Amino acid sequence: MREATIQQIDTISPIPKADFLELATFKGLGWTFVVKKGDFKPGDPCVYFCIDSELPPEAPWAKFLADKGSTRIKSMRLRGALSQGLALEIDILLGYTLPTELTGEPEDENMEITGIGDDEMGVEFTTMMGMQFPTQWGYDVTGILGVTHYDRPITPGTGGGDPKGGFPGHTPKTDETMLQNIPSVLQEMAGQEIYVAVKCDGTSTTFAQMDGELDICGRNWSMKEWSREDDPDGKPPIHNLYWKMYRKYEIESILNANDGIAIQAEMVGPGIQGNKLGLDEVEIRVFDIWDIAKGQYFDFDNLVAFCQKYKLPMVPLVSFQDLQKMEGNALTVDFWLNAAKGLYEGTKNRREGIVVRTCKAQYLNGVQNRASFKALNNDFLLKDED
């Protein structure tokens, strides 16, 4: 995941009644974030850490957060300004080994950034503090810096299970890109028929079968059916929740009848993320069917028909009056950030946000990911999630 990237500062604006802070934006992105006054000016490169990224506490450039007890990046308001992410000066890359595509040294496998660089490979460089740094905008430095993604755990005692192995390579992991990271997707989706689904706040679940090989997965791992708590006296095995859903919705018979697909859903209910949907028991909400053999998602009509045929509950849909295509106000970031607000039906709980997709499952020119995006509810992000 792209938790840390090289970005370029676009604008710097004053924050009312804030003598030492300023509000910044990036070129080509939709985020706003607060920086210390004087740290950046328009055009400067920086390293941007998105919300829910977790910085390595041992890194000297992350010490100021580690000293406060957490290196997880959250949305917050500072002096009334919405800050979504963290920008640090580009010189934190000093001493790290970057690939040749950034260093312009094709004869070497990699090279430590020590102030040497050129543009032989078409990569721009900027000079700061007498050193040259790559400014390939959007370049992912997540792994280089040791940054990880924060995944909220299932409540202890609910039976998360033990990993059997890695997530199967034949199926994409369930992760939607935030709109602010790819605002250009709106123009790429212009004129397309779309549908909008509620983003259910739960835990990602995938049921996949290919050539009879079954994988029941969380976000990152294929899970065993049984696990045993680490207790010196030993306890009965726990039938974990992923497999409970597999039994509850008779997924075995569905996959046997449709070998070569993956059913992807959000698992929600008591013990999972505070049960925001207010359910009486653990359930799933299906949001995707992946055809493993064809390497493509089901179109919306086929997704609905499949869920109806096998009595699988889908994610709730959001209806908009006269909005069936990506056009008009729907081509603006602000429209979708406002549309993301609201409560889960029948509750007083803020919903996490919405997911917008073209009805025809596709990839578009200029969009690296699928023709879709998630718009998160800023009211949800700003609450105390802990």
* Amino acid present at 29: L
- Between residues 156 and 64, which one has the greater pLDDT? 64
pTM equals 0.71
Helix (H) or strand (E) holding 306: helix 300-309
Q: Which structural domains are found in the chain, ordered by start? A: 4-149 (2.40.50), 163-382 (3.30.470.30)
Q: Strand 110-112 relative to strand 125-128: parallel, antiparallel, unpaired?
A: unpaired
Q: Which of 119-133, 165-179, 228-242, 351-365 has the highest mean pLDDT?
A: 351-365
Residue listed under structure tokens 């949305």: 75
CA–CA separation, 133 and 124 (whole Å): 8
Q: What is the pLDDT of residue 227?
A: 54
Of the given ranges (141-145, 232-236, 296-300, 324-328), which has the lowest mean pLDDT?
Answer: 232-236
157's CB contacts (< 8 A; 6+ apart) are: 271
**Using an 8 Å Cβ cutoff, are 54 and 71 in contact?**
yes
DSSP 227: E
Q: Which of 66-80, 154-168, 273-287 has the highest mean pLDDT?
A: 273-287
The residues that bridge with 317 in the sheet, in sequence order, are 197
Please state the separation of Cα 278 from the chain's center in Å. 24
Q: Which tens digits make up the pLDDT trace of 6-52?
A: 888 989 998 888 888 989 988 877 788 889 999 999 988 889 998 88
Q: What is the pLDDT of residue 156?
A: 44
Residue listed under structure tokens 């123009």: 187
Q: Which tens digits make up the pLDDT trace of 102-144?
A: 544 433 333 333 333 333 334 455 554 445 555 567 788 888 8
**168: which 2 tokens?**
């199967």
CA–CA separation, 9 and 48 (whole Å): 10
CA–CA separation, 114 and 323 (whole Å): 53
For residues 230-253, give the mean pLDDT: 74
CA-closest candidate to residue 75, choices 83, 87, 67: 83
